Amino acid sequence: MRTRRALSATALLLCASCSDADVPAPPGGAPDGSGKAVVIDPGNPGPYVVGTTSFELAAHDSRKLPVQIWYPAAESARAEASAGHPFAEIEPPGERRDQLAGLVEDAPAGCVTQEFHAAVDAEAAERAEPWPVVLFSHCDSCTRFSELSVAERLASWGVVVAAPNHEQNTLYDALASAPSQLNAAFLQVRGKDMKDVLDAVLDGGDGVPEGLRGHVDEDRLGMFGHSFGSITTGLVLQDDPRVKAGVMIAAPPENPLLTGVSIANIEKPGLFMLAEEDNAIGAAGNDAIHQNYEAYPAPAWLLSVKDAGHWSFSDIAGLVPGLMPGCGTGQRQADPSQSFTYLDSETGRDIAVRYVTAFLAAQLLDQAPAARYLETATPEGVVTLVNR
């Protein structure tokens, strides 16, 4: 029987003398062709240039899904990636880019990510061994790039990240006052969307960068999701045997409102991330996350973040009024008469970047340094981390 352990930053000191000389590394070695083992440090960008591209995928039903892929790119693209692009340019030219640019311009200062650092449509990096793949599912009325900071960090360490817009349940649908799809029936649609995307990436279909076709590892597949995407992640972990581990951010996968996931049916490692001041799912939702974690039948971690709101981990916090909890000020969950300032948005995103990367690197790539990162709670006093 596994024991529940409280973890702290002091645990890092226990590994001060650990050697990484024999640490298993992602196959293929460093991007400079030296053959040197790549040891993943979740707190810093990796050695690969990040590329990104988007394409349209015909889904299982009549919808067309925009899909974004982040991937290790050729060294020739480094200057473009380092210089960055305005956030809105993640969308192809057209109405949606214009809408997004206007929203970013009008958003409160310090909330929304202002730039992304990936080379658009860059040539993929070459490597003899295949790249692992991670899927991402966005929140209700959000976008495929809601967690682009996490996607970029993963790609910089040699991981391909693929994320669809769940059309009819996106930011743009909400702006058009389309009916809500936050329901159990659309959860099943979302799950099929993720299968469609994974099939396309593994099959090397149209739109997938040519350099990635036939060069992704079908045995090293993971997933993460935020809010409704957390529940979608639980559904995929439950139903798709190909996906080996998942991160579930700011929502309980098993819950009585959006049914379809049973924690008892998930036999793969999972990381739960909880915002302690989550005004979107409330105290009841956070209690359900705790219950999901305690009932999880596979190895599980629970990361709780002080003064974080529902969108504190997201690149689109504050983009529209409904995405504000997590930016600026709010009311305490325990005492709504008390106001407080949410955790700085950059810090919240950085926590997500570090721990999602650490967890997936540990689970998919057998990275001991990444696994050790899951034995620390950083920043101390902000993050609480337990496992079982």
How far is Cα 20 from Cα 255, in angstroms, rounded to an integer? Answer: 41
Asked whether the predicted pLDDT for residue 95 surpasses 80, the reply is yes
Average pLDDT over residues 220-232: 98
Q: How many CB atoms lie within 10 A of CB 168?
A: 15
Q: Do residues 287 and 256 touch, judged by C-beta distance below 8 A?
A: no
Mean of pLDDT values over 176-184 = 97
**Cα torsion for 199, 66, 43, 107, to the nearest 10°?**
-160
Give me the pLDDT at residue 21, please.
36
110 within 8 A of 341, measured Cβ to Cβ: no
Q: Rg of the chain over CA atoms, in angstroms? A: 19
Q: What is the amino acid identity at position 133? A: V
241-263 mean pLDDT: 97
pLDDT in tens, 347-386: 999 999 999 999 999 999 989 989 999 999 999 999 999 9
**The pLDDT value given to residue 3:** 36
Mean pLDDT across the stretch 2-14? 34
Residue 276 CA to residue 330 CA, distance in Å, equals 12
| Residue 304 binned pLDDT confidence (cut-offs 50, 70, 90) | very high
Q: Reduce the DSSP state of residue 140 to 3 states and report it.
A: coil
- Burial of 373: CB neighbours in 10 Å, binned 0-12, 13-18, 19+: buried
**Model-wide pTM > 0.85:** yes
Q: What is residue 38's predicted lDDT score, i.e. its pLDDT?
A: 80
Q: Assign 128 a pLDDT band (cuts: 50, 70, 90).
A: confident
Torsions phi, psi for 383 (to 5 deg): -100, 135
Q: How many CA atoms lie within 13 A of 348 on its CB side?
A: 35
Mean pLDDT of 330-343: 92
Contacts of 135 (CB under 8 A, 6+ apart): 161, 162, 163, 194, 197, 198, 221, 222, 223, 224, 236, 243
Assign 9 a pLDDT band (cuts: 50, 70, 90).
very low
**Distance (Å, rounded) from C-alpha 245 to C-alpha 267?**
9
Question: What share of the chain in percent tops pLDDT 90?
Answer: 86
Q: Is the pLDDT of residue 22 over 70?
A: no
- What is the reported pLDDT for 333? 87
- Which residue in 12, 41, 7 sits closest to 303, CA to CA? 7
Q: Assign residue 158 a region: left if phi > 0, alpha if psi is -120 to 50, beta otherwise?
A: left
Q: Which residues pair with 7 in a beta bridge?
A: 385
How many domains is the chain built from? 1
Give 13's pLDDT tier (boundaries 50, 70, 90). very low
Q: Are 352 and 360 in contact (CB under 8 A)?
A: no
Tens digits of residue pLDDT in 136-157? 999 999 999 999 999 999 999 9
Averaged over 155-174, what is the pLDDT?
Answer: 98
Structure tokens at 192: 């099929």
Average pLDDT score, the chain: 91
pLDDT, residue 14, reads 27
Distance CA 173, CA 179 (A): 8
pLDDT exceeds cutoff 80 at 291: yes
pLDDT at 297 over 90: yes
Q: Which residue has the higher pLDDT, 38 or 71?
A: 71
At residue 334, the pLDDT reads: 86
Q: Residue 207: which CATH number?
A: 3.40.50.1820
pLDDT at 34: 56
CA distance 102 to 98: 6
**Beta-carbon count within 10 A of 291 CB:** 14
What's the average model confidence in pLDDT over 301-310? 98
Q: How confident is the model at residue 1 (pLDDT cuts 50, 70, 90)?
A: very low
Q: At 120, is the pLDDT very low, low, confident or very high (cuts 50, 70, 90)?
A: very high
Write out the residue range of the structural domain in which residue 73 sits.
5-387
Q: Is the pLDDT of residue 31 over 80?
A: no
